[in-house]
Amino acid sequence: MTPAVRAWEPDGDDLAALEAEHRARAAAHDALVAVPDLGAVPGDERLVAVRLPDGSRAAGLATSGDVPAGSAAATFRPLREHRLRARAAGPDVGGAVRALVDAWTTRVGGAPGVAPDGDGRPERGPAPRDHGLVLLWPSRDVEAVGALAASGLRPTVHLAARRDAPPASPRVAPGVVLAEAGPGDVADVVEHQLAELEYDELVGAARVRPRAREHLAAQVAGAVANPATTVLVARRSPAHGEDAGEVVGVVAVEPPERAGAVAGTVTAGPVSYLVLLHVTGGSRGGGVGGALVDAALARVRDRLGPGAVVLLHHGVLNPLSAPFWARQGFRPVLTTWELPVGALSPGARSLSP
């Protein structure tokens, strides 16, 4: 931390005031963002807190844990994860956030088994790419976003939302037929999901783990068998007398009862979660993705009404996802920021100027 920043030991009233001011500020930026209780109490050893001379302050609850390599969560998260649930307030929120991240990374970098040894590798545990720091922040809070970027963290994934979508005539892709996925389509859906994950891995938004195909097969089979889950496939229109054509695209949307913790990130509902959309490279640009989205969202409206919220995750740096989802009416709500623990070398541990 810079000399002007000092560690802060907030009492209960301090934390309550910080929480209230942070929540009001978040709502002013984006009323759709839900702000859960920080869950910290004075003296909690997990609490990281800083204060600037102008009264700006920030506090966060720092936790660490392992993500099972075979779990669905491991597809999108490092295997050893340091997370910070943070709050900030005052005239210089950006400065407070920057100071908080600096204090947090210094704490993580100094923890036993985290600091690199002489060859630059962790002393124990997973490889550096699977040992990282993770923080979520409202996407529209540009002041804090600038501070996070300046601190060395990078945005990896947006949680995006679409709500209050008016009924519309679904788009149609020429030469393609949409249909509900059946048991015989599970293998094709799995291949599409693997292809999506492999592409997102290139831009740091996913990780393809060993046995990924096996785990996805079980998940896809369960989704296809669940009447409340929408799984649609797009096939090339077969020529006269031919069997059904190649599956060139898929979409899957989970109902509110399967939306899980993601539903708690927004203030509106009911919430459905669009877990998969993928179109083969040769079919992109022909309207297949838009037709699949329209058909899936029409089913959401039919079941939940026009006020339903649909959430999805997409890679921030994925050059295909961001413009596509913006055209479909989705916009970022929360952004995941990450930093590999391997980046916390002794010469780079302090991120403040």
pLDDT tens by residue, 88-124: 999 999 999 999 999 999 998 866 544 333 333 333 4
Mean pLDDT across the chain: 87
Residue 178 shares a structural domain with residue 148: no
CB-side neighbour CA atoms (13 Å) of 335: 22
Structural domain of 43: 6-160+337-343
Please check whether residues 197 and 147 belong to one and the same domain: no
Q: Is the pLDDT of residue 332 over 90?
A: yes
User: Model pTM?
Assistant: 0.88
Report the pLDDT value the prediction gives residue 114, as an integer from 0 to 100.
46
Q: Is residue 21 part of a domain?
A: yes
**Per-residue model confidence (pLDDT) at position 214:** 87
> What is the count of structural domains for the chain?
2
Tens digits of residue pLDDT in 46-76: 999 999 999 999 999 999 988 887 777 778 8
Residue 12 has pLDDT above 60, yes or no: yes
Residue 203 and residue 309 share a domain:
yes
| H or E stretch covering 97 | helix 93-109
- pLDDT on residue 5: 79
Give the distance between the most distant pair of CA atoms in the chain.
78
| Residue 348 belongs to a domain | no
Note whether 135 and 13 are same-domain residues: yes
On whether both 145 and 187 belong to a single domain, the answer is no
Answer yes or no: is 221 within a domain.
Answer: yes
Residue 260 pLDDT > 60: yes
Q: Classify residue 172 as exposed, middle or buried by CB count within 10 Å of its CB (0-12, 13-18, 19+).
A: middle
